[in-house]
Amino acid sequence: MAQKIIPIFVIYKGCPNRCVYCNERITAGDYPDRITEDLFRRIVDKHLKSLDEYVYIQIAFYGGNFTGIDRNYQTELLEYAESYIRKGLVNSVRISTRPDYIDEDRAELLKNYHVKTVEIGAQSMVDEVLNLSNRGHSSDDVRRAMEILKAKGFETGIHLMAGLPGDTEERFRYTVEETIKLHPHMVRIHPTIVFQDTALAKSYQKGEYKPISMADAIKLCKYALGKFETANIPVIRLGLQMTREMEREGSIIAGPHHPAFRSLVEGSIFLDMASKLLKSTGPGKEIATFLLNPKDASDFRGMRNQNIKSIKERFDVTEISIREDSKQERGTLALVINGKISKLSKFQSLMDS
Ligand code: SF4
C-alpha cells in the first residue's frame, strides 16, 4: 500500500546539546520554534487535501529529539495527531529521536498514542566518532534503545552518516555491520555536509575537519546500500532532503552535497553493472545494446549521460543503444552483443562488490 508521511519539524526541541554538524534551520526548513495546534492542523489538512484515498498515512514528528521534549508538550503534540487518528484520517504516528532518550516509560507513552515507527539517530556505531561529533551518547545507547523498541513492537529505523569527524572507511563499514546486527526495519544514510553556523563549519575553516569527497561519499553509500539490501533492510533515503534554505547562497559551506544524491549512487551501481557485463564479454563489442526497465533508464544513463560516455571511453564501444522494456525486472541490466544476451541484477552486482 502506498505510504504518505506528513512531516512536522520540531526544530531542536528536546536536544540536550548541539551536534557539531547540525543546523536544523537549514535542513528542516522554515518551521517556527513552537508548533501550535493551529499550525499543526494547517499543515496536516493541507497534506490530506492532496492525497489519494487509499494510502497509509503517518504524521511524522521530525527534527529535534522527540522523546526528550518536555512531557507536557510531547503529549500535547501526540494529542494533536491522535485527533486525526480517531477520525480515521491518519493511520499512525512516526517520530525521530535520540537513542539515549528511549526507556521503558518513554516508549510506553509513544505506544499509548499510536506511534508505530521510531527512527533513531545513531549516525555512527564508533564511540570516538560520536564523541568528536558531540553526539553525547554511545553506540551502546543505540543497542539498548533498539532492544526496548523491538520488545515493545515498534517499527524501527536507524539514521547513519558517512564522513563524520574521526570516521574512516573502515569505521563506516563497521558501523554498517553493527547496524545490520540490530535488524532495523529501515535505514536512512547521508554524507556529512558542512552547514553554516555549526561547530563543524568552524573546524573546517580552521583546517581541522576535511569533508569526504563526492567520489568517497558515493563509494561508502554504495557499500552500505549493498550490505543493507543483502540483509533485506530497505534504505529509505540516501542523501538529505532538499530545502529552500539549502539552496540559499552560503548555507552549504563544504561537503559532498547533491540534490539527487541517491541517483548518483544508483547511477554508479549501473555503471558497475555495465562494466561487469562488458568485461565478461569477448571481443567485438563495438556495438552494444542494453536492455532495462524504463524506470531505471535515467539511473543507467547517469547525470548528463555521464555513464554512457564512461562506457564508450573505457570499453571502446562506439555505439550504444538502450532498449527500454517494462517487462524487464527493475534493477536488472541485460547486454546484447552479437545476438548473445548476458544479464546482471543490481543485487548480484552489489553482492560481488
Ligand atoms: S540531536 Fe539531532 S536535532 Fe538535536 S542537535 Fe543533534 S542532530 Fe541536531
Q: Which domains does the chain have, with CATH numbers?
A: 3-259 (3.20.20.70), 265-352 (3.40.1260.20)
Q: State the Cα angle at 204 between 162 and 242, rounded to 5°.
A: 50
Residues 329-347: tens digit of each pLDDT: 999 999 988 888 999 998 8
Contacts of 305 (CB under 8 A, 6+ apart): none
The pTM assigned to this predicted structure is: 0.94
Residue 92, SS3?
Answer: strand
Residue 291, SS3?
Answer: strand
Q: Which residues pair with 60 in a beta bridge?
A: 7, 94
Instruction: Compute the chain's Rg from CA coordinates.
Output: 22
- In contact, 103 and 144? CB cutoff 8 Å: no
CA of 69 to the centre of ligand 1 (A): 12
| Helices and strands (DSSP H and E) totals, the chain | 14, 13
CA of 15 to the centre of ligand 1 (A): 6
Give residue 284's pLDDT.
67
CA of 18 to the centre of ligand 1 (A): 6
Residue 216, SS3?
Answer: helix
Which residue's CA is the closest to the ligand 1 atom numbered 1?
15
Give residue 337's pLDDT.
85
- The C-alpha cell at 162 is 558517512
Residues 110-155: tens digit of each pLDDT: 999 999 999 999 999 999 999 999 999 999 999 999 999 999 999 9
Least confident of 89-103, 210-224, 265-279, 337-351: 337-351
CA of 135 to the centre of ligand 1 (A): 8
Pocket test for ligand 1, best of 22, 134, 164 (most atoms within 8 A of CB): 22
Residue 323, SS3?
Answer: strand
Residues 7-54: tens digit of each pLDDT: 999 999 999 999 999 999 999 988 888 999 999 999 999 999 988 776
| DSSP state for residue 279 in the 8-state scheme | H
At residue 92, what are phi and psi to the nearest 5 degrees? -160, -175
Pocket test for ligand 1, best of 9, 13, 18, 119 (most atoms within 8 A of CB): 18
- The C-alpha cell at 173 is 563499514
Pocket test for ligand 1, best of 65, 67, 141 (most atoms within 8 A of CB): 65
CA 199 to chain centre: 23
Residue 353's pLDDT band, with cuts at 50, 70 and 90, is low
Q: Which residues pair with 56 in a beta bridge?
A: 3
Give residue for cell 569526504. 212
At residue 103, what are phi and psi to the nearest 5 degrees? -145, 180
Residues 281-302: tens digit of each pLDDT: 866 667 889 999 999 999 999 9
Residues 9-18: tens digit of each pLDDT: 999 999 999 9
The answer on pLDDT for 237 being more than 80 is: yes
Could you tell me whether strands 155-162 and 194-195 are parallel, antiparallel, or unpaired per DSSP bridges?
unpaired
Element (DSSP H or E) covering residue 261: helix 261-279
Quick one: which atom of ligand 1 is closest to the CA of 17?
A: 5
Q: What is the mean pLDDT of residues 204-222?
A: 97
Residue 166's pLDDT band, with cuts at 50, 70 and 90, is very high
Give residue 283's pLDDT.
66
Nearest in space to 22 (alpha carbons), one of 171, 180, 214, 159: 159
- The C-alpha cell at 178 is 553493527
| Average pLDDT taken over every residue of the chain | 94
Residues with CB under 6 Å of ligand 1 are: 12, 15, 18-19, 22, 24, 63-65, 98, 121
Element (DSSP H or E) covering residue 195: strand 194-195
Q: Name the residue type at position 227.
A: K
- The C-alpha cell at 330 is 527493475
Nearest in space to 14 (alpha carbons), one of 82, 97, 90, 92: 97
Q: How far apart are CA 49 and CA 58, in angstroms?
A: 14
